[in-house]
Amino acid sequence: MNATDKKISETLARFDEPMAGNTWKVQGTTVIYHKALERIAAKAKIQFDVPTILRAEKEEAVLMVVGRMGDRMEWSIGEATIGMNYRVSGKQAAYPYAMSEKRAKDRVILKLIELSGILYSEEEADEFKEARPLSTPSSEPSENEKKAVVASKSRQDEITDFKLLIEEARTVQAVTDLMQDEGTQAWLEKLPAGERDEIRAYAVDKMKSLGWQPKRAA
């Protein structure tokens, strides 16, 4: 094991994530699953500010994300342009905003755990995903670790899926109806305050992109 792999392995081990089963090599570059980074963020208690939209086009989204871990703060940019650095095939729906956010958050996580530049998220390039192993070995975590990972993964998956619903909305009214739905409200109340605020801000940004303007105070 070379020095770089040793650093990656030791850092991942701090968050109870083995290198084997979570990473793979693509032409000498070490790549990690997006879901593994989400678990690390949850275990490290990384908090994200509401993303800042830097560019919003029909087929392009550029977001800036700020993340905090303890007294440390890092930021990064996520970019997704359909047909360029974000390929979509067949009938697959395109979600440039969600992809841009994933890339930015993953980059911030890697910065905060001090692996930026030597470890890359699978979301960085289609080539990374295409080279994913068909099956991977895994270590056996404790029951508490399993429960924590499942809970974190489930909640993050729900949040990602809901953001995709917001992205699919084509009118301001559609976003409003989605957010005011009784089921949505009940689900939001169960989330941590930070994640709840993040989703609401995401919906507001979507409405603004559709032409909605908040009323100014008199």
Cα separations (Å) of 20 from 83, 96, 133, 135, 187?
Answer: 32, 30, 11, 11, 35
pLDDT digits (tens, 9 = 90+) for 151-205: 544 677 788 888 888 888 889 998 998 899 888 888 888 888 888 888 999 999 9
- pLDDT greater than 80 at residue 112: yes
At 47 the pLDDT is 95
When pLDDT is cut at 50, 70 and 90, the band that residue 33 belongs to is: very high
| Beta strands at 23-26 and 29-32: parallel, antiparallel or unpaired | antiparallel
d(CA 15, CA 31): 17
Q: What average pLDDT does range 42-71 have in this prediction?
A: 93
At 154 the pLDDT is 63
Do residues 49 and 65 make contact, with C-beta atoms less than 8 angstroms apart? Answer: yes
pTM: 0.61
3-state secondary structure at position 58: coil
How far from the centroid of its chain's Cα atoms is residue 89's Cα? 21
- The rounded mean pLDDT for the chain is 85
At 150 the pLDDT is 46
